[in-house]
Amino acid sequence: MNLKNLLEESLPTYITTLPYSKIKTKFRPFLVKEEKKLLILEETSNKKEIYNGIIEVLNSCYSDIDFTKIPIFEVEYCFLKLRAKSVGEIITPKITCPETKENHIVEINLNNLELKCKEQNNIIDVGKNLKIKLKYPTVNDIPEDTSNINDLIANCIVYFESSEEKVEASNFTKEEIVDFLDHLTVKYYENILNFFENMPTSPIEIFYQTTDGVKRSIILKNLKDFFT
């Protein structure tokens, strides 16, 4: 009798279709050894390191998906769904009221989580007769310095298109693209930022009451929000 094989055969499996990529897949709950990896990630504040650790666990639990090639928001969605089947559907994050600054422990049912995929154009005007095509960021697009938004944008540009030609972004260095972004007008730069600000999310509205008796609500919509 092989105990490892026996355990693997006894694990429950679930079938799901990713809401944005439309990939049909099956997954199993994460194991104790994988939960230990996730607990270690709580000790770091490096966003890229956290995502890399999560993807390592996801690749172990899901079938037929390369999580380095799907958008970040879908990585987060899959992780939350995996967490619900592995540990439990209910989580109790601590939130800070934006109005009163009071801390509140709230309850969230991860089964109510849905990815909201709003249609938006990824061909962005950045000048007169000049456009760029953008893609949603994957974990590989996250720069080492996660506060540098221009590095992230540069990694997500697919091509540049003028009235005369279309040129793949890979023909330029990162430095050239970042310099290009720095020389855009504020209006055109905001067109790019709007694309990323309107990426699909998994929002859940939480209702609570502060000590002044006012009933308030807050919307949680990314991985950090759910586990603070």
Structure tokens at 180: 């290009």
Kindly indicate the confidence band of residue 108, based on its pLDDT and cuts at 50, 70 and 90: confident
pLDDT tens digits for range 59-90: 999 988 999 999 999 999 999 999 999 988 99
Q: Residue 134 forms beta bridges with which residues?
A: 157
Taking residue 203's Cβ as centre, other Cβ atoms within 10 Å add up to 14
Plot region of 3 (φ>0 → left; ψ -120 to 50 → alpha; else → beta): alpha
Helix, strand, coil percent content, the chain, rounded in steps of 5:
40, 25, 40
pLDDT tens digits for range 121-180: 999 999 989 999 999 999 999 888 777 899 999 999 999 999 999 999 999 999 999 999
What is residue 5's predicted lDDT score, i.e. its pLDDT?
61
The full set of domains in the chain, from first to last, is: 3-91 (3.30.2220), 123-197 (no CATH)
Beta carbons of 132 and 124 less than 8 angstroms apart: yes
